[in-house]
Amino acid sequence: MNYLKGKTFVWGAFLIGSFSVVYFGAPSFTDIEYDAAIQNEKIEQNIKIDENKKEKEPEFVVTHVETPKAVKGIYMTACVAATPSFRNKLVSLVDETELNSLVIDIKDYSGTISFKTDNPILREINGGGCRMADMKEFIGLLHEKGIYVIGRITVFQDPYFTKKRPDLAVKKESDKTLVWKDYKGISFIDAGAREFWDYIVELSKESYLIGFDELNYDYLRFPSDGDMYDIFYPFSEEVVVADPFFGKAKVIRDFSKYLYDELAGSDAVLSADLFGMSMTNSDDLNIGQVLEYLAPYFDYIAPMVYPSHYPRGFIGYQDVNKYPYEIVKFSMDKGVERLLAASSTPNKLRPWLQDNDYPVPYTPEMVRAQIQATYDAGLNSWMLWDAANTYTRGALMEE
């Protein structure tokens, strides 16, 4: 916090000679000047005393923590981060276990920016989600504890921004004046809208400046679960139509390169969340995610290899939820194989693992099995996902 030093003006009075005045009635102008001078001298002395006594509040200095050799993290929503009693429980969990990192929402599924900012490009983005009044200070506290802080930015899923700028949104093919929505009623920005790219870059720069060590990009993709027969991309349509197999992947790749180039001047670490099956599929899953296209532009790739998200019969398992180790191990083995073939380092992979009760209760053994599968694939880092932020302590090693 910067302080402006106030200037104090001293009014002096010059007394010429020595004299005594006996005056009945109103005081003379000379008397008034003299009294004012004495009074102002006292005020000036008191100000100086107060300034000497006053302790200067130290200026808040933003720091960053170096990326741990092995990141072991959990996710924290903006709502939890804005609730001291809840967030403190998660900080204690990190303090007392093998965890060393926290992933906190910067921009969540609603499009809300979770911290206050004076940045003119960002301050008008007032979605209906949760916000923190003390994000910078909270990050500073985490840094004092040596906790690595990752900021999560949902990119192209942004229902608030589509309301603000419907011209940049994915539209309906049947009526290109209408904004397309998925089955949950959520709208998306067209991934090819370069004006929105600049908004994400600005948000990224601002987030790093307030202390986030790493910027993690989620929903780095085209929509996936709505009426895909009635969808139109006003900025990407030409590329998608010209290359129906990898056109979307090219758009996402171009955005990723732009992001990488624009943030090259900072020391921010960049990571991207991908669908788990992007490790095993050679196509772009019809959402634009191809591992080899994105790996050059991110320090880390975080595949969401939640066993519950794999289809029945995946690699022969009819009930995928019974095989958390096997699902994660197979997926990460394939990812490692592909990065090696692309002459990239396998430890660029840092999977999101499941720690939530969908669609079955997750035991400590099931969570730990995924962690072990990650290690057995030759990797050393992982993050646990639970949208409710209630993590299985029994799955974690005590510090």
Give the pLDDT of residue 55.
57
Give the pLDDT of residue 245.
96
Per-residue pLDDT of the chain (399 residues; tens, 9 = 90+): 333 323 232 333 333 333 233 333 333 333 434 344 444 444 445 544 444 444 555 667 899 999 999 999 999 999 999 999 999 999 999 999 999 999 999 999 999 999 999 999 898 777 889 999 999 999 999 999 999 999 999 999 999 999 999 999 999 999 999 999 999 999 999 999 999 999 999 999 999 999 999 999 999 999 999 999 999 999 999 999 999 999 999 999 999 999 999 999 899 999 999 999 999 999 999 999 999 999 999 999 999 999 999 999 999 999 999 999 999 999 999 999 999 999 999 999 999 999 999 999 999 999 999 999 999 999 999 999 999 999 999 999 998
Give the pLDDT of residue 60.
75
The full 3-state SS of the chain, as one line of letters, equals CCCCCCCCCCCCCCCCCCCCCCCCCCCCHHHHHHHHHHHHHHHHHHHHHHHHHCCCCCCCCCCCCCCCCCCEEEEECHHHHCCHHHHHHHHHHHHHECCCEEEEEEECCCCCECECCCCCCCCCCCCCCCCECCHHHHHHHHHHCCCEEEEEEECCECHHHHHHCHHHECECCCCCCCECEECCCCEEECCCCHHHHHHHHHHHHHHHHCCCCEEEEECCCCCCCECCCCCECCCCHHHHHHCCCCHHHHHHHHHHHHHHHHCCCCCCEEEEEEEHHHCCCCCCCCCCCCHHHHHHHCCEEEEECCHHHCCCCECCECCHHHCHHHHHHHHHHHHHHHHHHCCCCHHHECCEEECCCCCCCCCHHHHHHHHHHHHHCCCCCEEEECCCCCCCHHHCCEC
Give the pLDDT of residue 58.
62
Give the pLDDT of residue 101.
98
Give the pLDDT of residue 123.
84
Per CATH, domain 72-395 is 3.20.20.80: yes
Residue-range domain boundaries for the chain = 1-59, 72-395
Give the pLDDT of residue 177.
97
